[in-house]
Structure 1
Amino acid sequence: MAEDLIEQFAQHLRVERGRSEHTVRAYVGDLCALRSYAREQGAEDLTDLELTDLRSWLARQGTQGAARATVARRSAAVRSFYAWATRRGHLPRDPAARLASPRRSRTLPGVLDHAQADALLRTAADGTHRASGGRATSGRRATSAADDEARGEVDPLSLRDAAMVELLYASGIRVSELVGLDLDDVDASTRTLRVLGKGDKERTVPYGVPAQRAVDTWLARGRPRLVTPASGPALLLGRRGGRVDPRQVREVVHRLLAQVPDAPDLGPHGLRHSAATHLLDGGADLRVVQELLGHSSLATTQIYTHVSVDRLRTAYRQAHPRA
């Protein structure tokens, strides 16, 4: 019964709640872990667990070294599941109604400073990083690399990578939002992106002139060399012509940042953090940044004010004679 209930709950998250596939996978994984724990305790099903069992399971997570954010997510998954199961009549009462979550620690996100962000974008635009990175090529691209160089052509994946990092930093969008962009989501006349965010909420996000140049170059000289009948309307493509996936974007960002001296090792979300912090450093209103990032709560956006204040305090200590 547990397997059927978990699958029904997953469909509820997808269809009725509009949760991302990443969230659905995480919640399903949490419930499967809870099911294994239930069987260890001699319970036949998730519906046989009580509040004390759920608390014991979460306590075990902490003793096994799970991060506070992970325990909080698992608690949220359990509460959501049991509330849904109770509403559907699978349970006479909700055993997780009084299940508490640990408070998430408000750690400051890692960000690039302005010079590091500029160096990252210059590295991406260079187009020579791929050769120095030693990434293997295959098929036609491997055999024609010398011919491309002789004709002054740039590796199309380098053009794509430059467009990706420019868009991530210029707009502050999530990696899932980036890979979901279609050609008609980009309005070059107004330099805006139509983005489908969490909960299937659509918003419009502006980007700047450098990002537009990178996208134009990718569309003119890169995408046509990778496009296949399977590409569909995807803006950003992988080497085989399919829509690029988040894992590929993360690999690109990590690889490019490794070439920036003294830069922290951040992923795409680090560029989102950097964009938000630099907007606030430049005087942008907190509500505007909230809208750009697609945060449902202003409290989520406020963490970036702490980053800016922390940077201001550091600069003060370094520069003021009586600090």
Structure 2
Amino acid sequence: MTGRRGETSTSFDSVPERTFLRLRREARGKGVVGEEELEEDLDIVMEEEVHNHAGEGAGNHAPQERRVLGSYINPNPGNCGSSILKPTIHANNFELKPQLITLVQNNCSFGGSVQEDPNQYLTTFLRICDTMKSNGVHLNTYRLLLFPFSLRDKASKWLESFSKESLTTWKDVVNKFLARFYPPQRFNRLRAEVQTFRQQDGETLYEAWERYKDLTRKCPPDMFNEWVQLHILYEGLSYESKNALDHSSGGSLNKKKTIEEAIDVIETVANTEYLYASERRNNRGVMELNNMDAILAQNKMIAKQLAYLTKQIEKNQATAIHT
């Protein structure tokens, strides 16, 4: 049905259709088969059309919920909760025991200060989580649930800065954690410390080697190759330590040994030096103790002699007075 030219009617106009059907029946004669059924169908279509338009009108003009101004500033409890999405747990009787939370808080708490080492914290945290095992519970479930309890101070506020349940995987949590607390500036400073490593005055090879290993453990795996690390160590050692390593290598550590063999030589020489140094310290302690005992015994003898002389002098003076 159309109204004005170019416009289509949005409603079903039933009156002209009925008039058309009635006039056609009168012209052809009553009792034409199909005309009555067609008019009944038209009535059904008209009723459905009217019902649909009524429903649309009610939907378009449905009253909106009345909201007062104060409701816009009320706290929204929907924003409260953890930034980490609680993982799906298939075990029926799973429970995060308070003892586990206490264990994490007492052994690997991280506050986010400059003095704290994020790598060392993560190593300890993962070592604790890896000891836990439950049927139907993935290992990352323990990590995600315990991670918030291991943070404090600045690190805890950092975790709360994320939207509710926006962190969904352990990998996502770790990547964001390292990006925040191990920024490029810290990597650059650590690289400079490794590259400028030097054995200090009075520091044994064992002490220098342990300090160097602790320093390189903080570096990312791809920062220095193993052969680069060994060259930096060798160049930073004292003349005596280089000599000891070269002698144990059969002439030259760099020219005679592979990476694995060089590490074994350094470990062997450093540990041997540590054992001999410990024995020397123990022997020196025994000698110093013996010398101290001798000095004390000598002092006691001198004190006795002084006391005897004092008595003799007093006795002689008393005899002279009576005489």
TM-score normalised by the chain length of structure 1: 0.18
**Which has the larger share of helix?**
2
Larger radius of gyration: 2
TM-score normalised by the chain length of structure 2: 0.18
Q: Report which structure shows greater RCO (CA 8 Å, sep ≥6).
A: 1
